[in-house]
């Protein structure tokens, strides 16, 4: 059952606990949205330049992975990490050709594995960490709170696409 309250989660500092509550609620709604989908539905591509639901799910996992690296390790992806996540990160033609023929459990495991790592790492941080100032190479400022807000907004945005694709299948 989905909890429709945003409350600090235990074992986290207050603001990180609230962030975890939002991350978990967002994921619960996404998982509810894809519950029971078949491999055919996950592979369906609704147009020549569109993405499948499966591709969007891996994209959600890949965005979270990238934000783990940037926020927790203060670095960019290595060549090996980029090679592993490139297709779901970039989507497009490569994803349409490569991300298919996977059972639903494949996508659920990827989402779960990445999330488990996020939650474990967030337990080691405090609220001050959320507000640490950083700068992109182009000089634009950001903080860790923004990075994790972006993880939320990206998943919510792609969930809207998933809902649209479900209606077309």
pLDDT score of 151: 98
Average pLDDT over residues 130-146: 95
User: pTM for this one?
Assistant: 0.96
Per residue in 76-87, pLDDT (tens digit) is 999 999 999 999
In terms of phi and psi (left: phi > 0; alpha: psi -120 to 50; beta: otherwise), the region of 36 is left
Per residue in 23-59, pLDDT (tens digit) is 999 999 999 999 999 999 999 999 999 999 999 999 9
Beta strands in 12-150, from DSSP E residues, in sequence order: 133-135, 141-143
CATH 1.20.120.450 fits 14-168, yes or no: yes
Give the residue extent of every domain in the chain. Answer: 14-168
Check pLDDT > 90 for residue 62. Answer: yes
């Amino acid at each position: 059952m989905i909890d429709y309250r945003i409350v600090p989660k235990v074992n986290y500092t207050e603001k990180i606990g609230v962030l975890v509550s939002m991350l978990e609620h967002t994921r619960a709604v996404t998982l509810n949205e894809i519950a029971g989908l078949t491999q055919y539905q996950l592979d369906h591509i609704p147009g020549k330049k569109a993405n499948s639901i499966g591709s969007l799910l891996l994209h959600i996992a890949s965005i979270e992975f990238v934000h783990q690296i940037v926020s927790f390790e203060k670095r960019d992806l290595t060549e090996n990490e980029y090679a592993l996540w490139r297709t779901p990160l970039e989507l497009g033609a490569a994803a349409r050709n490569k991300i298919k023929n996977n059972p639903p459990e494949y996508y659920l495991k990827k989402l779960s594995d990445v999330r488990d790592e996020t939650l474990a790492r967030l337990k080691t941080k405090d609220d001050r960490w959320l507000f640490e100032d950083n700068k992109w190479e182009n000089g634009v400022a950001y903080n860790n709170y923004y990075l994790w807000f972006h993880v939320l907004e990206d998943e919510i945005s792609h969930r809207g696409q998933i809902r649209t694709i479900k209606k077309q299948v």
